[in-house]
């Protein structure tokens, strides 16, 4: 977690530094990758590209999107016709793609055409902020015609050999939950309480209690506090309303719940989109004073988002889901696991930050770069449960929003097998 | 030979609009410009081989001028002793994109006088003799050889001034002189009076057409109009190959009567592939001063060349930099160590790429004069200032003044670039559009929907002093500034519109921007008069003709508005082209005006008295010239509009649309020409009659409509005319249905039209529903042209565009109108206004919405009296001379709270300074001086007590920020102590706690609140800075932009500051309870 923690945050810098460090940090990796993939193709900077000669160029991708919301719209556009915010996808067919390195930028021509011909499952989609390499020819007139692309690829996993001792006796489990949504319009308090009781070993038959006993750690991947949907509309339009101000009651409820859980097992709590934490990524741990009850238990870990930790020799990395959700908006892909897999394949957790995802303006570091591939990569607050095992042994888990699905996820730390556990709190009242 | 000395005397101020055009000097010895290794796109397409005997040269001419040259055999026929003759040069482009210069010989300058009945041949001879021996002409004719007046011949003409009854003398004398600049002194002699000693007579007379520029004279007589296609027929011209005079690819000599001028119709209505060069320069100023050419170097020159009609961007993108510069994709970078070398190379490129039109933003007043003067400072003027198409001809620059009723008076630098048209987008946009700001940034935001990065001139020096990367940064910026004018030109279709305007009015393209409206009408009048055998007298107008104080006659009428909010469709009836149609209907013209003593010579049925008391002969007796010109213009417009409907090709559509617009503008300017008291041909009898007819028609219309649409006549209700202005009448038919109102409107228009002589026509155009009438010339409404849905919201005279209003006022006014008119939700609008006022008082309004800006037109010290923005500029100069506004900049400011009794000008403060020092904004000032008036105006018609908007519960909560100690004033004496974040109770010194003991139990809540602030600011921070990154078009480089026109500039700054402050508060929690 340390790399996601910022002790003293000052907002004096712009974002250029972050992009610059990202490019510099990934440049060597890309260089090696290009040499390995496209033997004999010279790598050069954009400024050195000569017309008609096939070269490889490493740089940061930037996608010009017309539909992308901009704060300038508040001033220039017809205020009566504000584009529907929160639309799921801002892609349009005529989005153009440029690549930029530390010297210049160039337009990649016919990018859409290229993609439609070459997209293979598993290759990352172009996204603003992605560091990658393209191979192609500079056409007379200024555009660069792409014939192939390359990404950084999975980072090595230094823990692989030591940790995954499948021979270890006994199954232990890591429990993942997200989107409890306390105080929110969808919160399902009964299901939440059922889940808590089961985790603390107070529910179910002996077999079920046995399983619960094998859960060695619980991660609450954001979304502890829910959005008040009914209120959101009116409050947001009222002049001067701050959408980030909210009532204290759900936080107290969350404190009680966490205290109950932390008494029984180690609990990591990560901040999510609606939680009382700052919004800029990486989100800092929720403050101690918010959890006067739970914080007294030493077993409560107030974690950052993204959160990286080791559990029973397994390296786990996860986010509360904003990075995946944001990427879904800005590239044509819907499948969350695909998105997650691509994130790993380009060695960057949050390429769309800071362009469309608020993040802290780091100066000489980019904590979202993955120096190593974890064993488990999860994302919270996803629409539904999904999992996939990617060769080189990475378990991808889309942890669904609990308030919507009543599902928590158990991950076998020995086999990396993964399955959902469903709690249904409905009393059939509404039926 | 040595360059000819030009006249030292300035032009006669009366003649401002008709300055005698200077002849260019004879070319200096040929000096071939050294053509560097030019890129493949630099040069024009090569000329295909052709045989002059069998191939005609057909090209579109864009620029016409003349020079004096030795007579040339075969095309000039003059006595042997003549050493100089005027030769006209037509510069242009043929369909293949080759540049062409036609040298037209043999056309002679002349003017006319009336021939007295008793003048015989000896009189005429004596007149010629007297003119030729006078010192006035002799001095000027020196070096020309031969007599000044070459011949005097009789001519049959009639004067255009006043009705000429049958039997009026039509005998005129045409006085032909050898070179054009002899016309003025000869005119002076005749108008001043001179004695003809040989016949013992004295002559003092009016001259005719003696104020026509030589080039215009040629164009009128040869039927050449601005920007049309001309043809040099096969075998009729001499191709110049041995000693070309110009850099044009094709150069040919021809006699003027062999030249064929094609009317701009059919195949000759197209536009040749013109080369348009857009330029922008960057200069390295000293700290605190606007760059001065004498001292500060030019560090970069960007040039973009594009070809009109070619869509795929510029063919040349070049940037020249002083000092090394990293390369730029898609652009040609040329770096120089020596400034003089760079300038000279740029001159070469200008000549090589051979543009027909030079464009840019503010080039006429900045870029071009700066380059010119800079070359003088570097002592390379003679070599550098060769921008024209004439080989070795030195470009001249002089101070000019432009004065026009429509565009006001302003000074400019007049640079003569022979053969190339200069087109400054700034001038054009200022003329054609009313905008709140004319900076390139806001103009491109307005027309192209893009914000532009703006580098402050103090930052330029730092970038230049950096390394090749920072200079590259500057170069990219410079290139963009050269590209934007190009895109504006395309977007606004200026090439087409101006060429069409030149064709319609017959003046050269370059007149359109450098001269006023009247030359256009004058040119049409000349052409019409020439065709009909009329001549135009040169009348000296001494001050206003009629009335005192320049207000010669009564203007248009405005019916008293019946103020209110109309929840019924209000039909608008317009007189189509009101003034032109009045002039046509009543035959108003110079040639039809009857003086009081002429009344008896025309029978009463052949004359008509206008409501203002002047008499004009009727159509039946004699058709006026102006009505005829107008008829042709309007008929041509109708044709163009019909063609436009049928045309599919976007380029041809652009041309046609440009034409119909030009025709409309021209038709409307005819009336202004007759009323311009400082113009050339003012005739207030015509203009006063025109407006008097207009006034009468509005009154008649009101009466007719109100009499016809009554219950008594079987209509639903009695209608009511609620407002009328100049050429329109608003009628409330009091029906609920839009479709029915439209039907009645159409019917009413037809009924009323019958009451007026053709071609006056009342048209129904649109319905306003609902309609908010606030006052004279102040209204807003939803505009309907179809009964199904409204087209848009239309507002007049409301604080939506004026630039001295802050953005807040504009936003509030627009939103209120939207809510009231579109949403029909008055309560919602009231709630919104109250919310905004509450926010304002609670200090929650974004600062950029409160910024007001005013231009600094002269040095701050030169202003008399204390003016807010000027005092502020002085204050800022004391703080930091580097970033203080210089002359020509706009000074943005906010009004801050100051000591009681402080003058208004003391309250202005730099928004950035106010932000950094948390100076409290004087919200009351904004409320009282900016918001209240427009709001009361809007809400007066719709609610009972609009004052309640400005007082009441929502105004009781007030928050004021605490100024920082650095801000001075009382805060210097304040001591900063830690206080509880919740209740502000001071904490004991040394205590690091965030809260007092009392508030401690609510820590979580208080923390959440602080956190909420941080989160909101963080989100904004991200959105704002990434928006800037996108705008500047680079991810890896810091945003440098300091565009104060950009709405997010201040917000960006404010968020940064607020966020750090909020983070500081949040950190205090961490310090205590971690």
- Using alpha carbons, list the distances in angstroms from residue A67 to A64, A83, B272, B451, B608: 9, 9, 38, 16, 64
Does residue B181 surpass a pLDDT of 60? yes
What is residue A136's predicted lDDT score, i.e. its pLDDT?
A: 82
> For chain B, what is the radius of gyration of the CA atoms?
34
Does residue B805 surpass a pLDDT of 80? no
Comparing CB atoms, the residue among B312, B445, B1005 nearest residue A248 is B1005
SS3 for B27? coil
Determine whether the interchain pair B1022/A72 forms a contact, defined as Cβ–Cβ distance below 8 Å.
no
Give Cβ neighbours of residue B131 (< 8 Å, ≥ 6 apart): B137, B148, B149, B175, B186, B189, B190, B194
Q: Are strands B57-69 and B85-94 parallel, antiparallel or unpaired?
A: antiparallel
Does residue B863 surpass a pLDDT of 80? no
Does residue B948 surpass a pLDDT of 50? yes
Token pair recorded at residue B494: 């200026």
CA torsion, ordered B549, B553, B559, B560, to nearest 10 deg:
30
For chain B, give the percent of residues with pLDDT over 90: 9
Chain A residues closer than 8 Å to B806 by CB? none
A-B contacts (CB, under 8 Å): 170
Token pair recorded at residue B177: 């002189």
The mean pLDDT of B1066-1070, rounded to a whole number, is: 73
Give Cβ neighbours of residue B274 (< 8 Å, ≥ 6 apart): B60, B62, B93, B307, B308, B356, B357, B495
Q: Is the dihedral of CA A197, A200, A205, A210 positive or negative?
A: positive
Q: Which residue of B has its CA nearest to A46?
A: B329
Determine whether the interchain pair A358/B1018 forms a contact, defined as Cβ–Cβ distance below 8 Å.
yes
> For chain A, what is the radius of gyration of the CA atoms?
23
- SS3 per-residue string spanning B847-877: HHHHCEEEECCCCHHHCCCCCHHHHHHHHHH
Q: Which residue of B has its CA nearest to A130?
A: B1035
- The span from the CA of B295 to the CA of B292, in Å, is 6
Check: CB of residue A199 under 8 Å from CB of residue A191: no
What is residue B278's predicted lDDT score, i.e. its pLDDT?
A: 93
| Nearest alpha-carbon partner for B109 in B135, B81, B72, B84 | B84
**Cα within 13 Å of Cα(B128), Cβ side:** 19
| Nearest alpha-carbon partner for A368 in A326, A314, A413 | A326
Lowest mean pLDDT among A104-113, A239-248, B566-575, B1001-1010: A239-248
Helices (H), B991-1047: 1003-1032
What is residue A95's predicted lDDT score, i.e. its pLDDT?
A: 64
Q: Is the dihedral of CA A195, A197, A199, A204 positive or negative?
A: negative
Q: Which residue of B has its CA nearest to A141?
A: B330
What is residue B392's predicted lDDT score, i.e. its pLDDT?
A: 78
| Nearest alpha-carbon partner for A20 in B327, B469, B454, B1027 | B469
| Nearest alpha-carbon partner for B394 in B9, B28, B1 | B28
The mean pLDDT of B74-86, rounded to a whole number, is: 81
Q: According to the per-residue pLDDT averaged within each range, which of A305-314, B353-362, B701-710 is highest?
A: B353-362
Q: Tell me how close the Cα of A178 comes to any Cα of chain B, in angstroms.
A: 21
Q: What is the pLDDT of residues B757-780, one digit of tens each?
A: 888 888 888 888 888 888 888 888
Q: What is the pLDDT of residues B122-142, one digit of tens each?
A: 888 888 888 888 777 777 777
Lowest mean pLDDT among A162-176, A221-235, A390-404, B696-710: A221-235
Q: According to the per-residue pLDDT averaged within each range, which of A115-119, B224-228, B897-901, B949-953 is highest?
A: B224-228
SS3 for B830? helix
Residue B1001 is classified by DSSP as G
Determine whether the interchain pair A75/B1009 forms a contact, defined as Cβ–Cβ distance below 8 Å.
no
Check: CB of residue A280 under 8 Å from CB of residue B1018: yes
What is residue B93's predicted lDDT score, i.e. its pLDDT?
A: 94
- The span from the CA of B1058 to the CA of B1052, in Å, is 10
DSSP H helix total and E strand total for chain A: 11, 16
What is residue B651's predicted lDDT score, i.e. its pLDDT?
A: 67
Q: What is the pLDDT of residues A36-83, one digit of tens each?
A: 888 888 888 777 777 778 888 888 888 776 666 666 665 544 443 344
SS3 for B469? helix
Q: What is the pLDDT of residues A335-380, one digit of tens each?
A: 888 888 888 887 888 877 777 788 888 877 788 888 888 888 888 8
Lowest mean pLDDT among B79-93, B398-412, B578-592, B884-898: B398-412
- The span from the CA of B266 to the CA of B272, in Å, is 14
Q: Tell me how close the Cα of A30 comes to any Cα of chain B, in angstroms.
A: 18
pLDDT confidence bin for B967, thresholds 50/70/90:
low
Determine whether the interchain pair B1036/A60 forms a contact, defined as Cβ–Cβ distance below 8 Å.
yes
What is residue B28's predicted lDDT score, i.e. its pLDDT?
A: 47
Burial class (CB in 10 A: 0-12, 13-18, 19+), B632: middle
Determine whether the interchain pair A290/B1008 forms a contact, defined as Cβ–Cβ distance below 8 Å.
yes
Determine whether the interchain pair B469/A23 forms a contact, defined as Cβ–Cβ distance below 8 Å.
no
Does residue B7 surpass a pLDDT of 60? no
What is residue B275's predicted lDDT score, i.e. its pLDDT?
A: 92
- The span from the CA of B57 to the CA of B231, in Å, is 6
The mean pLDDT of B838-843, rounded to a whole number, is: 80
Helices (H), B681-786: 684-708, 738-753
Chain A residues closer than 8 Å to B1031 by CB? 72
Chain B residues closer than 8 Å to A279 by CB? 1015, 1018-1019
Lowest mean pLDDT among A137-146, A216-225, B486-495: A137-146
What is residue B90's predicted lDDT score, i.e. its pLDDT?
A: 93
- Using alpha carbons, list the distances in angstroms from residue B950 to B683, B838, B947: 52, 10, 6
| Nearest alpha-carbon partner for B284 in B1040, B982, B1047, B882 | B882
| Nearest alpha-carbon partner for B582 in B505, B675, B681 | B675
- Using alpha carbons, list the distances in angstroms from residue B80 to B83, B145, B146, B180: 8, 9, 8, 19
The mean pLDDT of A324-340, rounded to a whole number, is: 77
- The span from the CA of A49 to the CA of B80, in Å, is 66
Determine whether the interchain pair A15/B832 forms a contact, defined as Cβ–Cβ distance below 8 Å.
no
Chain B interface, mutation test: which of A13, A19, A75, most B Cβ atoms within 10 Å?
Answer: A75
**Cα within 13 Å of Cα(A95), Cβ side:** 22
Q: What is the pLDDT of residues B236-256, one digit of tens each?
A: 899 988 888 888 899 999 999
Token pair recorded at residue B232: 């040099």
DSSP H helix total and E strand total for chain B: 27, 37
* DSSP string for residues in A356-409: TS-B---SS--TTB-SS--SEEEEEEESS-EEEEETTTEEEEEEEBHHHH-EEE
The mean pLDDT of B823-846, rounded to a whole number, is: 81
Q: Which residue of B has its CA nearest to A63?
A: B1030
Comparing CB atoms, the residue among B1005, B1013, B1048 nearest residue A71 is B1048
Q: According to the per-residue pLDDT averaged within each range, which of A135-149, A367-381, B1007-1021 is highest?
A: A367-381
Comparing CB atoms, the residue among A9, A16, A248 nearest residue B1004 is A248
- The span from the CA of B105 to the CA of B255, in Å, is 5
Q: Which residue of B has its CA nearest to A59?
A: B1036
| Nearest alpha-carbon partner for B1039 in B479, B456, B439, B478 | B456
* ipTM of this predicted structure: 0.81
Chain B interface, mutation test: which of A8, A9, A11, A351, most B Cβ atoms within 10 Å?
Answer: A11
Check: CB of residue B44 under 8 Å from CB of residue B275: yes
The mean pLDDT of B45-68, rounded to a whole number, is: 90
Q: Which residue of B has its CA nearest to A296?
A: B1074
Global confidence as pTM: 0.74
Token pair recorded at residue B238: 């001499």
- The span from the CA of B692 to the CA of B593, in Å, is 16
Q: Measured at the alpha carbon of residue B268, what is the angle toward residues B267 and B274, in degrees to the nearest 5? A: 115
Q: Tell me how close the Cα of A269 comes to any Cα of chain B, in angstroms.
A: 16
- The span from the CA of A184 to the CA of B544, in Å, is 78
| Nearest alpha-carbon partner for B173 in B188, B196, B190, B148 | B190
Q: Is the dihedral of CA B17, B23, B24, B25 positive or negative?
A: negative
Does residue B219 surpass a pLDDT of 90? yes
Q: What is the pLDDT of residues B265-290, one digit of tens each?
A: 888 888 889 999 999 998 887 766 67
What is residue B803's predicted lDDT score, i.e. its pLDDT?
A: 57
B865 vs B569: which has the higher pLDDT:
B569
Q: Tell me how close the Cα of A378 comes to any Cα of chain B, in angstroms.
A: 24
Helices (H), A214-352: 229-237, 249-262, 322-330, 336-345
Residue B712 is classified by DSSP as G
What are the beta bridge partners of residue A219?
Answer: A176, A268
Does residue B63 surpass a pLDDT of 80? yes
What is residue A327's predicted lDDT score, i.e. its pLDDT?
A: 79
pLDDT confidence bin for B941, thresholds 50/70/90:
confident
Determine whether the interchain pair A129/B1035 forms a contact, defined as Cβ–Cβ distance below 8 Å.
yes
pLDDT confidence bin for B1003, thresholds 50/70/90:
confident
Q: Tell me how close the Cα of B781 comes to any Cα of chain A, in angstroms.
A: 16
Token pair recorded at residue B678: 């400082």
Q: Tell me how close the Cα of A105 comes to any Cα of chain B, in angstroms.
A: 7
pLDDT confidence bin for B100, thresholds 50/70/90:
very high
Q: According to the per-residue pLDDT averaged within each range, which of B36-40, B365-369, B883-887 is highest?
A: B365-369
Comparing CB atoms, the residue among B1005, B1026, B1060 nearest residue A15 is B1026
Chain A residues closer than 8 Å to B312 by CB? 141
Q: Which residue of A has its CA nearest to B811?
A: A75
Q: Which residue of B has its CA nearest to A247?
A: B1005
Q: Which residue of B has its CA nearest to A129?
A: B1035
Does residue A264 surpass a pLDDT of 50? yes
pLDDT confidence bin for B617, thresholds 50/70/90:
confident
**Cα within 13 Å of Cα(B695), Cβ side:** 15
Q: According to the per-residue pLDDT averaged within each range, which of A55-69, A139-153, A251-265, B10-24 is highest?
A: A251-265
| Nearest alpha-carbon partner for B666 in B552, B522, B509, B537 | B522
Chain B residues closer than 8 Å to A80 by CB? 818, 822
Q: Which residue of B has its CA nearest to A255?
A: B1004
Determine whether the interchain pair A47/B822 forms a contact, defined as Cβ–Cβ distance below 8 Å.
no
Determine whether the interchain pair A16/B1029 forms a contact, defined as Cβ–Cβ distance below 8 Å.
yes
Determine whether the interchain pair B1036/A20 forms a contact, defined as Cβ–Cβ distance below 8 Å.
yes
Does residue B58 surpass a pLDDT of 90? yes
What is residue B284's predicted lDDT score, i.e. its pLDDT?
A: 83
pLDDT, chain A, mean = 75
- SS3 per-residue string spanning A179-199: CCCECCCCCCHHHHHHHHHHH
The mean pLDDT of A187-204, rounded to a whole number, is: 83
A274 vs A227: which has the higher pLDDT:
A274
Chain A residues closer than 8 Å to B800 by CB? none
B592 vs B676: which has the higher pLDDT:
B592
pLDDT, chain B, mean = 80
């Amino acid at each position: 977690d340390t790399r996601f923690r910022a002790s003293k945050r000052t907002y004096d810098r712009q974002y250029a530094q972050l992009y610059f460090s990202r490019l510099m940090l990934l440049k060597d990796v890309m260089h090696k990758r290009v040499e390995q993939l496209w033997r004999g193709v010279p790598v050069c900077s954009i400024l050195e590209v000569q017309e008609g000669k096939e070269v490889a160029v490493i740089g940061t991708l930037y996608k010009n999107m017309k539909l992308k919301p901009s704060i300038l719209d508040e001033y220039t556009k017809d205020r009566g016709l504000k584009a529907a915010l929160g639309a799921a996808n801002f892609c349009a067919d005529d989005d153009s793609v440029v690549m930029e390195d530390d010297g210049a930028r160039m337009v990649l021509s016919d990018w859409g055409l290229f993609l439609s011909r070459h997209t293979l499952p598993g290759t990352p989609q172009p996204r603003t902020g992605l560091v990658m390499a393209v191979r192609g020819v500079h056409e007379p007139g200024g555009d660069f015609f792409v014939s192939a692309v390359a990404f950084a690829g999975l980072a090595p996993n230094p823990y692989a050999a030591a940790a995954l001792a499948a021979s270890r006796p006994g199954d232990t489990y890591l429990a993942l939950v997200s989107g409890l949504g306390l105080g929110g319009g969808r919160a399902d308090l009964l299901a939440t309480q059922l889940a808590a009781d089961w985790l603390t070993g107070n529910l179910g038959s002996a077999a079920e209690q046995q399983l619960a006993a094998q859960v060695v750690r619980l991660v609450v991947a954001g979304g502890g506090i829910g959005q008040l949907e009914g209120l959101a509309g009116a409050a947001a339009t009222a002049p001067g309303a701050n959408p980030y101000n909210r009532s204290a009651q759900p936080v107290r409820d969350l404190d009680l719940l966490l205290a109950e859980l932390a008494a029984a097992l180690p609990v990591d709590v990560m901040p999510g989109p609606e939680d009382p934490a700052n919004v800029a990524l990486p989100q800092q741990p929720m403050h101690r004073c918010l959890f006067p009850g739970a914080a007294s238990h030493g077993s409560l870990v107030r974690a950052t988002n993204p959160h990286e930790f080791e559990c029973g020799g397994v390296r786990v990395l996860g986010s509360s889901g904003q990075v995946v959700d944001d990427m879904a908006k800005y590239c044509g892909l819907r499948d969350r696991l695909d998105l997650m897999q691509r994130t790993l394949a380009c060695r960057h957790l949050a390429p769309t930050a800071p362009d469309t995802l608020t993040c802290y303006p780091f100066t000489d570091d980019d904590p979202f770069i993955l120096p190593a591939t974890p064993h488990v990569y999860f994302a919270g607050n996803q629409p539904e449960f999904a999992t996939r095992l990617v060769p080189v042994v990475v378990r991808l888990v889309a942890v669904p929003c609990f308030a919507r699905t009543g599902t928590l996820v158990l991950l076998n730390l020995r086999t990396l097998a993964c399955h959902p556990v469903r709690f249904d709190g409905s009393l059939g009242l509404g039926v | 030979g040595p360059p000819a000395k030009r006249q030292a005397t300035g032009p006669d101020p009366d003649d401002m609009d008709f300055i005698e055009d200077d002849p260019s000097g004879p070319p200096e010895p040929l000096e071939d410009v050294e053509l560097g290794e030019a890129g493949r796109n630099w040069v024009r397409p090569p000329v295909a081989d052709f045989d002059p005997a069998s191939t005609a040269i057909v090209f579109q001419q864009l620029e016409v001028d003349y020079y004096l040259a030795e007579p040339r055999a075969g095309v000039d026929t003059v006595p042997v002793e003549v050493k100089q003759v005027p030769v006209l040069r037509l510069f242009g482009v043929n369909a293949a994109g080759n540049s062409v210069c036609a040298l037209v010989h043999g056309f002679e300058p002349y003017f006319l006088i009336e021939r007295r009945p008793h003048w015989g041949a000896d009189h005429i001879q004596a007149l010629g003799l007297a003119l030729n021996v006078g010192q006035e002409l002799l001095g000027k004719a020196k070096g020309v050889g031969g007599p000044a007046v070459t011949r005097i011949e009789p001519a049959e003409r009639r004067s255009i001034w006043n009705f000429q009854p049958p039997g009026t003398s039509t005998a005129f004398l045409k006085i032909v002189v050898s070179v054009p600049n002899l016309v003025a002194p000869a005119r002076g002699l005749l108008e001043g009076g001179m004695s003809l000693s040989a016949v013992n007579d004295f002559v003092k007379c009016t001259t005719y057409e003696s104020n026509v520029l030589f080039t215009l004279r040629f164009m009128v007589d040869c039927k050449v109009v601005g920007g049309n296609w001309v043809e040099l027929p096969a075998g009729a011209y001499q191709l110049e190959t041995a000693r070309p005079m110009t850099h044009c690819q094709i150069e040919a000599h021809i006699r003027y009567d062999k030249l064929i001028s094609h009317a701009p119709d059919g195949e000759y209505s197209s536009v040749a592939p013109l080369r348009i060069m857009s330029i922008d320069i960057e200069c390295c100023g000293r700290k605190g001063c606007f760059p001065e050419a004498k001292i500060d170097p030019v560090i970069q020159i960007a040039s973009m060349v594009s070809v009109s009609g070619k869509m795929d961007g510029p063919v040349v993108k070049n940037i020249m930099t002083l000092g090394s510069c990293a390369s730029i994709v898609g652009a040609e970078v040329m770096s120089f160590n020596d400034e003089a070398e760079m300038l000279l190379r740029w001159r070469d490129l200008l000549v090589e790429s051979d543009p027909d039109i030079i464009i840019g933003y503010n080039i006429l007043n900045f870029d071009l004069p700066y380059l010119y003067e800079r070359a003088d400072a570097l002592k390379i003027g003679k070599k550098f200032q060769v921008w024209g198409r004439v080989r070795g001809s030195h470009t001249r620059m002089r101070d000019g003044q432009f004065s026009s009723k429509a565009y006001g008076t302003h000074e400019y630098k007049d640079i003569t670039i022979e053969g190339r048209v200069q087109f400054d987008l700034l001038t054009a946009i200022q003329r054609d559009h009313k905008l709140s700001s004319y900076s390139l940034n806001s103009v491109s935001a307005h027309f192209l929907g893009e914000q532009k990065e703006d580098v402050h001139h103090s930052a330029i020096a730092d970038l230049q002093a950096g390394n090749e990367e920072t200079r590259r940064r500057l170069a990219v910026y410079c290139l963009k500034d050269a590209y934007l004018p190009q895109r504006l030109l395309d977007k606004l279709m200026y090439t087409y519109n101006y060429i069409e305007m030149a064709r319609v009015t017959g003046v050269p393209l370059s007149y359109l921007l450098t001269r006023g409206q009247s030359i256009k009408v004058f040119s049409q009048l000349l052409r019409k008069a020439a065709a009909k055998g009329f001549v135009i007298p040169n009348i000296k107008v001494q001050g206003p003709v009629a009335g005192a104080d320049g207000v010669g006659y009564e203007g248009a009428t405005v019916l008293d508005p019946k103020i209110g909010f109309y929840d019924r469709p209000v039909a608008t009836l317009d007189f189509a082209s009101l003034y032109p149609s009045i002039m046509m209907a009543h035959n108003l013209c110079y040639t039809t005006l009857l003086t009081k003593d002429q009344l008896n010579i025309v029978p009463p049925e052949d004359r008509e008295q206008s409501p203002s008391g002047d008499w004009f002969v009727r159509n039946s007796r004699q058709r006026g010239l102006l009505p005829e010109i107008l008829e042709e213009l309007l008929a041509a417009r109708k044709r163009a509009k019909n063609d436009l409907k049928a045309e599919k090709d976007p380029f041809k559509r652009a041309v046609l649309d440009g034409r119909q617009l030009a025709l409309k503008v021209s038709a409307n300017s005819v009336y202004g020409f007759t009323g311009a008291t400082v113009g050339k041909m003012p005739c207030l009898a015509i203009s006063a009659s025109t407006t008097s007819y207009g006034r009468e028609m509005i009154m008649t219309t009101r009466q007719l409509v109100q009499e016809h649409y009554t219950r008594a006549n079987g209509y639903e209700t009695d209608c009511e005319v609620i407002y009328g202005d100049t050429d329109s009448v608003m009628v409330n038919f009091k029906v609920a249905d839009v479709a029915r109102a439209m039907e009645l409107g159409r019917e009413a228009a037809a009924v009323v039209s019958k009451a007026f002589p053709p071609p006056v026509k009342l048209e129904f155009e649109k319905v306003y529903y609902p309609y908010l009438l606030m006052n004279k010339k102040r209204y807003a409404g939803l505009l309907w042209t179809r009964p199904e849905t409204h087209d848009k919201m239309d507002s007049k005279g409301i604080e939506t565009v004026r630039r001295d209003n802050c953005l807040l006022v504009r936003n509030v006014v627009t939103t209120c109108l939207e809510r009231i008119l579109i949403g029909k939700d008055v309560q919602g609008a009231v709630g919104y206004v109250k919310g905004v006022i509450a926010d304002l008082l609670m200090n929650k309004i974004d600062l950029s919405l409160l910024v007001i800006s005013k231009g600094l037109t002269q040095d701050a010290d030169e202003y008399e009296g204390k003016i807010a923005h000027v005092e502020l500029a002085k204050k800022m100069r004391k703080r930091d001379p580097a970033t203080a506004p210089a002359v020509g900049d706009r000074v943005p400011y906010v009004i801050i709270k100051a000591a009681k009794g402080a003058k208004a000008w003391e309250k202005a403060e730099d928004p950035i300074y106010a932000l950094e020092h948390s100076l409290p904004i004087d919200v009351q000032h904004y409320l009282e001086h900016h918001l209240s008036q427009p709001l009361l105006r809007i809400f007066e018609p719709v609610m009972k007590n609009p004052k309640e908007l400005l007082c009441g519960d929502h105004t009781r909560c007030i928050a004021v920020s605490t100024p920082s100690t650095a801000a001075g004033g009382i805060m210097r004496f304040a001591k900063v102590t830690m206080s509880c974040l919740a209740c502000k109770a001071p904490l004991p010194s040394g205590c690091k706690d965030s809260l007092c003991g009392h508030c401690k139990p609510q820590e979580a809540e208080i923390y959440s609140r602080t956190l909420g602030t941080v989160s909101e600011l963080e989100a904004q921070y991200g959105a704002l800075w990434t928006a800037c990154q996108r705008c500047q078009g680079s991810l890896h480089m810091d945003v440098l932009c300091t565009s104060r026109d950009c709405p997010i500039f201040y917000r960006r700054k404010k968020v940064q500051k607020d966020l750090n402050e909020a983070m500081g508060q949040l950190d205090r929690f961490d310090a205590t309870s971690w």
